[in-house]
Amino acid sequence: MADGPSRRIQVDLSGHVALVTGASRGIGRAIALALGRAGATVACVARNEEKLKETAGAIEAAGGKASVHLCDVVDSAAVQSTLDAVVAAEGRIDIVVNNAGITKDTLLPVMSDDDWDQVIAANLRSVFLFTRAAAKVMMRQRSGRIINMSSVSGLMGNPGQSNYSASKAGIIGFTQTVARELAKRKVTVNAICPGFIATDMAEALGPAIIDEVKKRIPMQRIGEAEEIADAVLFLASDSANYITGQVLTVDGGMTA
């Protein structure tokens, strides 16, 4: 991972326990690394054991503490078991970042039932399952941060992504509702909407498409995964104690 600009957000999360889904690559990996660098113990969750071990290894190499948890994020029993294992090992859970997600893009007339169901499950059901499991612990603690990864596609739509856009818009409504339910127990729930971010999936589109995308962004560049991680660090920090039910868009002005 590139070090990025030297003037990054500085947050002290020492003593905090974080769980990040989709931590094996891309934005999830950047978030897990940032939380680890900030002092949090990070439970890295995904289905690719090799990639998860790479993420955990990078956190530990930087002096942090991390654990690897293989989990099918759409399986209710597996999600509860994963959350229980983290709490049993660490005694608490302070931060949950629901980042796992997939795309299966195609235009609506030819979209299959499976393409719809799989994206809704991976992107929205997983958020519900981990939030429900974590909320029970955080309510007892009377503290916690839940940060859900939505997308600008959930704000403005995108042709060929009716399933993805629906799932990401659903995350926003879910976030705002749960924020109201948990606020009295000092648990904050917020969403982040990344714009076009430099990841392996983005690179696979090729330079011509990326150049076209840049023309639609007022800042004339695509974002870095570390910039999304910075937003997570802020929402996980004490500086965000009075922020809940909000949607933070990080897109270089694309939806302005």
Q: pLDDT tens digits for 162-193?
A: 999 999 999 999 999 999 999 999 999 999 99
Does the pLDDT at position 98 exceed 90? yes
pLDDT on residue 203: 75
What's the pLDDT tens digit per position in 3-59? Answer: 444 578 899 999 999 999 999 999 999 999 999 999 999 999 999 999 999 999 999
Beta bridge partners of 42: 18, 66
141 inside domain? yes
Least confident residue range of 1-10, 108-117, 214-223? 1-10
Residue given tokens 């990040």 in the structure block: 20
Residue given tokens 């947050």 in the structure block: 11
10 inside domain? no
Q: Please report, in angstroms and rounded to a whole number, the separation of the first and last CA atoms in the chain.
A: 29
pLDDT on residue 205: 72
Catalytic site residue from 128, 130, 164, 196:
164
Q: What is the DSSP code string of 74-141? A: T-HHHHHHHHHHHHHHHS---EEEE---------GGG--HHHHHHHHIIIIIHHHHHHHHHHHHHHHH
Over residues 101-126, the mean pLDDT reads 97
- CATH number of the domain to which 53 belongs: 3.40.50.720
4 inside domain? no
148's enclosing H/E stretch is: strand 144-149
Statement: the pTM of the whole predicted model exceeds 0.85: yes
Domain that holds residue 88: 17-250
pLDDT on residue 6: 56
143 inside domain? yes
φ, ψ for residue 83, nearest 5 deg: -65, -45
Helices and strands in the chain, H and E counts: 10, 9
Residue 242 annotated among the catalytic residues of the structure: no
* Number of domains present in the structure of the chain: 1
Q: How confident is the model at residue 2 (pLDDT cuts 50, 70, 90)?
A: very low
* Three-state secondary structure call for residue 30: helix
Does the pLDDT at position 142 exceed 80? yes
pLDDT on residue 1: 39
49 inside domain? yes
Query: In the structure encoding, which two tokens stand for residue 80, read together?
Result: 């509860």
